[in-house]
A and B are shown apart, each in its own frame.
Chain A
Amino acid sequence: MRGKFQWEHAVLLLALVLLTVGTYIGLAVAPPERHMGDVQRIMYVHVPTAWIAMLSLTVAFVAAIGSLWSGKHKWDAAVVGSTETGVVLTGLLLSQGMIWARATWGVWWDWDVRLTTSLVMFILFAGVLALRASVDSAERRASWSAVAIIVAYADVPLVYFCVRWWRSLHQVQSTPETVDAAMMLPLRINAFGMLFLATWFIVRRARLELAQRQVEETTLPERRSVEEVQHA
């Protein structure tokens, strides 16, 4: 496990370079927004965080399907990695959003659909992690959390589409046509940076899960169920 080169560290390096360059351009090179002023620069971290948080939870959804279908440990490890990363990013997303809201809308929080569905997303997936922590049997932990993730995932498309479906304080998605070209560049660079950073988090957390499971199985053989022996 140790000493061997692990490919994800190259991805981390790339992520850090992209995030540094993107943030530098966003804070020092890109123009301020004509009505919003400098505070608009929060967009270069907020929008990539939102995209990659939803992407991580989508990976969790796919991994949960794989885990229930096959029962393989690898899928369950991917479930933990992507759920935990998605929850961390959603937590940061809400914090950045509150800071941006206070400066542009004038309030820290408002119960509009986008904010509410995003908070629900955070609570549901954090709940999945709490559920995992409370189940001892690895087999049951994997199935229960996979089921919970699939049901919780119903909220993710709502987070994305709610601003189009219903009146809200939060604006609808911007497109390259509604965003100045000078602002699109740092946004794109940071989005790829965040994507690679999340990849590193997911892979590291998944490897940790597999290693933990291996230790559990070698040190506590009496806790292995018949089922696990069959699948080992």
Chain B
Amino acid sequence: MPDGVIVDGWASVIAAYSVTTVGLIIYAASLWQRRRRLERKQS
């Protein structure tokens, strides 16, 4: 076999779930931040 490592299943699983979790949290945080900015503008 050529040099290199066969990609490990669990490492990929952890990467996929982490990317998704982080992405969703970032989007939720962005919504929260935009709302806060708007509320400051209103008051």
Contacts and interface: CB of A to CB of B under 8 A. Distances in A.
Interface of A: 2, 23, 27, 32, 36-42, 45-46, 49, 88, 91-92, 95-96, 99-100, 102-103, 197, 201, 204-205, 208, 211-212, 215, 219
- The 5 closest A-B CB pairs, nearest first, are A39-B9, A38-B9, A103-B12, A103-B7, A96-B16
Contact of A205 (B17, B20, B31, B38): B31
26 contacts: A2-B39, A23-B17, A27-B13, A27-B17, A36-B9, A37-B9, A39-B7, A39-B10, A42-B12, A45-B17, A45-B20, A49-B20, A88-B24, A88-B27, A95-B19, A95-B20, A96-B16, A96-B19, A102-B7, A103-B12, A201-B31, A204-B31, A208-B38, A211-B35, A215-B41, A219-B41
A215 B38 contact: yes
A53 B7 CA distance: 28
B19 A92 contact: yes
Given A37-B9, A39-B12, A42-B12, A99 B34 contact: no
B24 A38 contact: no
A88 B7 contact: no
Given A208-B35, A208-B38, A42 B16 contact: yes
Contacts of B27: 88, 201
Nearest to A97: B16
Interface residues of B, number: 22
Interface string B26-43: 011001001100110110
B1 interface: no
Contacts of A96: 16, 19-20
Contacts of A91: 23
B24 A92 contact: yes
Given A88-B27, A208-B31, A212-B38, A38 B19 contact: no
